[in-house]
Amino acid sequence: MLIKKTTANEITSSEITDHKVYVNRRQFLNSTAMGVTASLLPLSLSAADNTPKPTFLDLQKSTLSTDDKLTSYKDVTSYNNFYEFSTDKYAPALLASNFPDKSKPWRVTIEGECDKPGEYDYDDLIRPFTLEERIYRFRCVEGWSMVIPWVGFPLADLIKRAQPNSRAKFVEFTTLYDPEQMPGQSRKVLDWPYTEGLRIDEAMNPLTLLSVGLYGQELLGQNGAPIRLVVPWKYGFKSIKSIVKIRFVESMPNSAWMKAGPREYGFYSNVNPEVDHPRWSQGRERRIGEFLKRKTQMFNGYGEEVAHLYSAMDLTKHF
């Protein structure tokens, strides 16, 4: 399935932050298995890949992983869509080099229509879960895509822990709002804080991942540290970064990009080459590291796993 991501470019390119600046944040306890997932990201076609040595324990490949060639570590960590820092794709690698602030404990609030709400420290949140290796493919609306080895665990595992009630039809996610750490939030590019949402059955699908790392390392700031969503059959803006709140709700959430451009960005945002963005075609993409474009696949190539979720829907209307 194809994953697509919508973003805009501005500003000048920035230097790439050295990987060592961020990685000593914290270590996971317990035995963990590495997770891999594909995400849409940069548009540089070459890079020497100085992939760091994995720090997660007992790495093993998930049965859900693709065998596609991985995008280089350099590209994955230097060309990013993260408007909370900048609308330029190279700037987040520099501006997020010390994000998140290690002096501020990262907490995630779980609330809404569930029986087990609460506020969790990051380590307590992930400790019960086994991390597994997954590789998924994501696409970007500008026509570029990446294949990234994400470390993570199924969102479904966390949802089961929260025990949503019968009124919970959707899951809403919220990014940290902190203009001191995230200077892009001082500009009215979007309605901050960034929010996104999924239908409960989408959130429970085995492909939907909460990622805490990539290439065997903890997530860097520019990649959505310390915890982000990965939804490989949807366009990239659905995969919200730096999550601080997960809320179970009865009505469809009005997400950040829906507010910004309701005619251009729908709630479902499934990769669908037959539905053009009002300002460009979505029928072809360029994978980073390749010169020629390739045909965009329905659902980013994951139709077998997710098409049943939309069998009764008109995907040209529910885009």
DSSP result, 229-298: EE-TTB-GGGS--SEEEEEEESS----HHHHH-TTT--SS-B--TTS-BTTB--SEEEETT-SS-EEPPG
* Residue 27 pLDDT > 50: no
CA torsion sign for 71, 73, 74, 75 is: positive
Query: What's the pLDDT at 63?
Result: 79
Burial of 11 (0-12, 13-18, 19+ CB in 10 A): exposed
* Residue 11 pLDDT > 60: no
Name residue 119's beta-bridge partners: 109
Structural domains in the chain plus CATH codes: 19-310 (3.90.420.10)
Query: What's the pLDDT at 58?
Result: 59
The region of weakest confidence among 86-90, 212-216, 279-283, 310-314 is 279-283
Burial of 238 (0-12, 13-18, 19+ CB in 10 A): buried
DSSP H or E segment with residue 199: strand 195-199
Query: What's the pLDDT at 115?
Result: 98
Average pLDDT, the chain: 82
Whole-number Cα distances in Å, 286 to 10, 16, 93, 293, 315: 20, 22, 22, 4, 24
Report the distance separating Cα 33 and Cα 212, nearest Å: 12
Pairing type for strands 243-249 and 209-214 reads unpaired
- Overall average pLDDT of the 275-297 stretch: 85
* Residue 131 pLDDT > 60: yes
Name residue 137's beta-bridge partners: 147
pLDDT tens figures, 215-260: 888 999 999 999 999 999 999 999 999 999 999 999 999 999 999 9
Whole-number Cα distances in Å, 7 to 88, 201, 238, 295: 9, 27, 12, 20
Q: What is the band of 13 on the pLDDT scale with cuts at 50, 70, 90?
A: very low
Higher pLDDT pick, 175 / 133: 175
Report the distance separating Cα 24 and Cα 6, nearest Å: 32
* Residue 187 pLDDT > 60: yes
- Overall average pLDDT of the 257-274 stretch: 93
Q: What is the band of 2 on the pLDDT scale with cuts at 50, 70, 90?
A: very low
- Overall average pLDDT of the 114-124 stretch: 96
- Overall average pLDDT of the 179-193 stretch: 97
- Overall average pLDDT of the 88-100 stretch: 96
Q: What is the band of 62 on the pLDDT scale with cuts at 50, 70, 90?
A: confident
User: Cα 149 from chain centroid?
Assistant: 12
- Give all strands (DSSP E) within 142-181, no chain letters: 144-154, 170-175
Report the distance separating Cα 65 and Cα 136, nearest Å: 6
Under DSSP, is residue 75 helix (H, G, I), strand (E, B) or coil? helix
Cis status of the peptide bond prior to 226, with omega within 30 of 0:
yes
Q: What is the band of 209 on the pLDDT scale with cuts at 50, 70, 90?
A: very high
Query: What's the pLDDT at 129?
Result: 85
Report the distance separating Cα 176 and Cα 20, nearest Å: 23
How much is the CA Rg of the chain, to the nearest whole Å? 18
Q: What are the tokens at 293?
A: 């474009």
Query: What's the pLDDT at 60?
Result: 67
Report the distance separating Cα 220 and Cα 140, nearest Å: 20
pLDDT tens figures, 35-52: 333 333 333 333 345 788
User: Cα 290 from chain centroid?
Assistant: 22
Nearby residues of 298 by Cβ (< 8 Å), 6 or more positions away? 1, 2, 271, 272, 273, 274, 307
Higher pLDDT pick, 50 / 121: 121
Higher pLDDT pick, 200 / 274: 200
Percent of the chain's residues with pLDDT above 90: 56
The region of weakest confidence among 26-30, 72-76, 179-183 is 26-30
Query: In this structure, are residues 227 and 125 in contact, taking their beta carbons and an 8 Å threshold?
Result: yes
